[in-house]
Amino acid sequence: MNKNNFIHALINNYQYESNQEIINKNQIEFELNEKTIEEIKYEKELNWVKNVTQRASISILAPASHIEPERNLKQPFSLEEMNQKILKARELACRPSEIERMSLQQLLDEKTFTKQLLIDWNEKFQQMHNFAPTNRDKEPIREIYVYYRKVRYTFQIEKEKLTNKENLQEYLNANGSAKLKEQKIKLQKKLLQYESSFCRENGRSVSTPQDRLPVTTLYDQYLILKYKFHAVEQYLGY
């Protein structure tokens, strides 16, 4: 097989459609957690192509839909801007600067905000360039992805501590479950009263951590009771 035929064969074997569909939020959310099967498959294929071409001492074009040339595309917002957004949101909600000092509710708020910030970045990038960002395009904001995973991991650990069976022994009976449910309902009523009052005074529903500041302790307590109650129900098989 001559050089041109060899190149042609490789391109045909690994040719993909160049037009990409718009990424929906579910795809982006999955991407925040781990690599997709398609990404793993592509990396293996690309490594195979590189190895073959190196042995043949020739160069070929990468498949059209996966090509990652050297490029300096405009970013929706920079790493510094994203860090400033996170810092501002944290200050407005009176959350500690250290993750380790955050309550469960504060960790959830920090995780939610950071995740939405990454989703917004991905969507705006696609609107600007008419294609989804590659891993290479997202490299300038890698730090935010790392931070998001750290917050998510810390939140999960704290949640698991609360719902560990050993820490729920006093509730693992019918009376204990009823007691938790009663406490949860009482807190829920107080929070509903606050939310109704807030809506009357501001003409909108409670929607941000700043809105919850006057009763932030109640929200923390309610979230803890909610997770505990659900865990107890699962242990008791309800």
Contacts 24+ apart (CB under 8 A), 93-99: 93/208, 93/209, 93/210, 93/213, 94/213, 94/216, 95/209, 99/150, 99/151, 99/154
Tens of each residue's pLDDT in the chain, 238 residues: 555 555 554 445 444 444 444 444 555 555 566 544 544 554 555 555 445 444 444 333 334 444 445 567 889 999 999 999 999 999 999 999 999 999 999 999 999 999 999 999 999 999 999 999 999 999 999 999 999 999 999 999 999 998 988 889 888 988 889 999 999 999 999 999 999 999 999 999 999 999 999 999 999 999 999 999 999 998 888 7
Phi, psi of 14 (to 5 degrees): -120, 25
Alpha helices per DSSP H over 57-103: 79-92
Which segments of the chain are extended strands (E)? none
DSSP code, position 172: S
* 186-to-111, 177, 222 alpha-carbon distances in Å: 27, 14, 9
